Amino acid sequence: MSLKTEVTSHTKSLRRYALVLTRDPAAADDLVQETLLKAIDKADTWQPGTNLRPWLFRIMHNTHVSDLRRAKTRTDAAPDLPEPVVQDHQHTQLELKQVLQALDQLPEAQRKPIILIALREMSYAEAARTLDVPLGTFMSRLGRGREALRRIVSGIASGKLAVLSRKESL
């Protein structure tokens, strides 16, 4: 595979990751552009022979962290997040909305491992390198995050059910 083909394939993956991180196509493309610009600047730090994908994802991760810092807190930004870009069955859309809402409640350290592995773009070890943490720490954050996500989604779902039951009983 030529480097150009490889870069194109990785950019596609970066765009997917950026869309989940930002929830907005325009913001996702901005993040991808910023990542590629930084990668061009840092091209001399890439070690030929090593996998390009974790290197690029790592740059995106750091770029996103800086962006979040600039935006002060994610909590402040959350109410402005647009609706997820999903055109699917209504039930799936509702479930996705709940999962994204739950993801927002997780600490950044748990959210990113969940997203990176869900994309099926890299191994545990590569994802750990991307986030610059030891593999053991990564696995622990992934596992804790998944369990926390499950509990929050379950809470959100039961809360919505309770609201629906109250509406029906009125």
Q: Which residues contact 83 (CB under 8 A, 6 or more apart)?
A: 97
| Best CA proximity match to 105, nearest among 83, 75, 144 | 75
Residue 163 Cβ vs another protein, minimum distance, rounded to whole Å: 21
Q: How far apart are CA 64 and CA 58, in angstroms?
A: 10
Cα-based angle 73, 71, 138 (whole degrees, multiple of 5): 55
Q: How far apart are CA 86 and CA 130, in angstroms?
A: 27
131 binds another protein (CB under 8 A): no
Could you say whether residue 19 binds another protein (CB under 8 A)?
A: yes
Which helix (H) or strand (E) segment holds residue 170: the answer is: none
Rule CB under 8 A: say whether 91 interacts with another protein.
no
- Min separation Cβ 12 and another protein, Å: 7
Q: Does 67 bind another protein (CB under 8 A)?
A: no
- When asked if residue 160 is in the footprint of another protein (CB under 8 A), the reply is no
Applying CB under 8 A, does 20 fall inside the site for another protein?
yes
Site membership for another protein, residue 158 (CB under 8 A): no
Q: How far apart are CA 5 and CA 108, in angstroms?
A: 31
* Nearest by Cα to 32 from 16, 53, 46, 48: 16
59 class by beta-carbon count within 10 Å (0-12 exposed, 13-18 middle, 19+ buried)? buried
Q: Which of 37, 161, 163, 164 touches another protein (CB under 8 A)?
A: 37
Per CB under 8 A, the list member of 123, 158, 164, 165 interacting with another protein is: 123
Q: Based on the shown chain and the rule CB under 8 A, indicate whether residue 109 belongs to the binding site for another protein.
A: no
Q: Does 62 bind another protein (CB under 8 A)?
A: no
The footprint of another protein (CB under 8 A) covers: 2-4, 6-8, 11-12, 15-20, 25, 28-29, 32-33, 36-37, 39-40, 43-44, 46-49, 52, 84-88, 92, 95-96, 99-100, 103, 105-107, 114-115, 117-120, 123-124, 139-140, 142-154
